[in-house]
Amino acid sequence: MATRRQAREWALQLLFQLDHNPAENMNHAFEAFWKQQVVARVDDQNTPGVRRPGAPANKAMPHPSTEDSTDTLASAKILAFTEGLVRGVFNNLAEIDAKLSVYLQNWPLHRLGGVERNVMRLAFFELFFADETPPIVCINEAVDLAKYFSNADAGRFVNGVLDRAAKDVKRPARK
């Protein structure tokens, strides 16, 4: 079952995609993304040597049709969390980018790699616009995402920026 961590991975992937290919309609972007995720999951499960739990060995899953839904990916709560993160970043993008630019200290936002830029946008949204997640969790998740989707140096860079930013957050670092 998918977790909030998986939701953040999906949110990062969507943000990266939308950063490079802006969508006119966010709902269509989500629909296309979820459909692609369902197809990717089935393709992974049909790869030789990969077996889904409980499935007989060497039994391929049918390829998904347009009627297949996202309930095979995650709970409605996790999917809503993912979409909430992405919408939150986009609804506050100008303010997030302005705030992020301050903490980058003479490093223009456009010079950041796409992964690092969107990881920090996601983290800044959770730090400054969503009170649900403790700051320490926001930083840890962002560093892990940067290391996973980029490299260890990206993780250190993201950690440094977010550590400075977290000092200005008005809620406790941990709950």
Give the single-character DSSP code of 74. -
Phi and psi at 71, nearest 5°, equal: -65, -15
Cβ burial, residue 104 (10 Å; 0-12/13-18/19+): middle
The predicted structure's pLDDT at residue 107: 87
DSSP string, 127-139: HHT--SS-HHHHH
| Domain boundaries along the sequence of the chain | 1-83, 92-169
Q: 20 in the Ramachandran plot: left (φ > 0), alpha (ψ -120 to 50) or beta? A: alpha
Structure tokens of 114? 């796409």
The amino acid sitting at 137 is V
> What angle (nearest 5°) sits at the alpha carbon of residue 166, between those of residues 165 and 170?
115
Q: Which helix (H) or strand (E) holds 88?
A: helix 76-91
Residue labelled with tokens 């700051």: 135
The predicted structure's pLDDT at residue 66: 39
The predicted structure's pLDDT at residue 103: 95
In whole angstroms, give the CA distance from residue 79 to residue 13: 14
pLDDT tens track of the chain, all 175 residues?
A: 689 999 999 999 999 999 998 988 999 999 999 999 998 877 656 555 554 444 445 444 444 443 456 667 889 999 999 999 999 999 999 999 999 999 998 889 999 999 999 999 999 999 999 988 999 999 999 999 999 999 999 999 999 999 999 999 987 767 6
Q: Could you tell me which CATH number the domain at 92-169 has?
A: 1.10.940.10
